[in-house]
Copies of this chain bind each other. A is one copy, B any other.
Amino acid sequence: MKKSLLSALTLTLLGITAAPVQAAWEALPEVAPAPKDNPTTPAKVELGKMLYMDPRLSSTGTVSCNSCHNVMEGGDDSRPVSMGVNGKTGGRSAPSVWNAAFYSVQFWDGRVNLLEDQAKGPMTNPVEMGAPNHDHVMAKIRAIPGYQASFEKAFGKDSMTIENTAKAIAAFERTLITPNSAYDRYVKGDKKAMTAQQVQGMKTFAEVGCNSCHSGANFSGPKMPVGQGFYATFPTFTDNKYSKQYDLMADKGRQEATGKAADAHKFRVPTLRNITDTAPYFHNGSVNDLSEAVRVMAKTQLNKDLSDKQVADIVAFLGALTGPYPEITMPRLPATAGTSLVGARE
């Protein structure tokens, strides 16, 4: 909050008057929130980046966090559903890691709260990284001599635990944010940051009612306390061709996590940031084209049929929510000192 005040002050001192914007339009904070027991530090981020990129943590040595949440792309994998070890596929489309730090719950069904909790999931998922358990993951990490110094730097002596592994990965992920999009610059006062069509699309977006769910700085709903998710039923309106066409009723959403009938087909409202880079769309990756995704959402969530112009304008606006992505230097993954982790002829 202090930072925002300071920025406003700076703008005023520079003689720039921020354009009057609706309070509803928020820019993304320039720093992601971190839990009290895991403040973001450079040493954690550096270690987390190594662990995030290291495929040797998987059972086959081929799947890293980055395989499905590729930071060189839109933070996902361009696939309908991800492909883990041995060509196995999961049931839902990989959510983007970009700006995931701003969610109050993680996964499509919000079944865990923090990035720290999320990071541990795929490691032992048999269709993702496929480790039999977290001890197995830690045995691999401990077998790589170079990791010890990085853990010590980040967490102190004797700190090679699965909890710290998850904390380091989460710390790295909290740097994966895109707070300086054309939209952000626009709402901060740079009226030239968005094109005329993007500005029109922003109005259409609000008029149609997209922001009844996709609100807030991350376009994933209002700011909530950690652990309290912002969910929507998808599809809400089922009396249309899309439910069947895109197989939208098959996944029970949050009900599959909680077992409660009231959670049927509820999903965490996903961010719209960088959505131009994250095709295909929806929890099941059933729609390839962003224009079609907008049309489907309007119909299934708001029971509205959009005109081609409305769709085009909204898609243009969504483009203003993309990037810029921070530059990332490739980490050096420490060597296994003359030993393979996967095992000869395994």
Binding site for B on A (CB under 8 A): 53-56, 60-62, 67, 70-74, 77-80, 83, 85-88, 247, 276-277, 279-280, 284-291, 315, 322, 325, 327-333, 335-346
Contacts and interface: CB of A to CB of B under 8 A. Distances in A.
Given A73-B333, A327-B329, A341 B290 contact: no
Nearest to A60: B83
A79 B328 contact: no
A62 B77 contact: yes
A342 B280 CA distance: 9
Closest 6 CB pairs of A and B: A290-B338, A86-B87, A87-B87, A280-B340, A277-B335, A279-B340
- Secondary structure at chain A's binding surface: helix, strand, loop or mixed? loop
Contacts of A340: 78-80, 279-280, 285, 288
10 contacts: A61-B77, A83-B86, A85-B87, A87-B87, A279-B338, A279-B339, A280-B340, A280-B342, A291-B338, A327-B329
B53 A62 contact: no
Contacts of A346: 80
Q: What is the count of identical protomers in the complex?
A: 2
Given A83-B62, A280-B344, A288-B343, A72 B330 contact: yes
A344 B286 contact: yes
Contact of A329 (B83, B328, B345): B328
A82 to B, nearest CB: 8
Contacts of A72: 53-54, 330-333
A71 B343 contact: no
Contact of A87 (B60, B287, B290, B345): B60
Given A72-B332, A333-B73, A337-B276, A342 B80 contact: yes
Contacts of A284: 345
Given A87-B87, A328-B330, A335-B74, A342 B289 contact: no
Contacts of A78: 55-56, 61, 336, 340-342
A291 B329 CA distance: 33
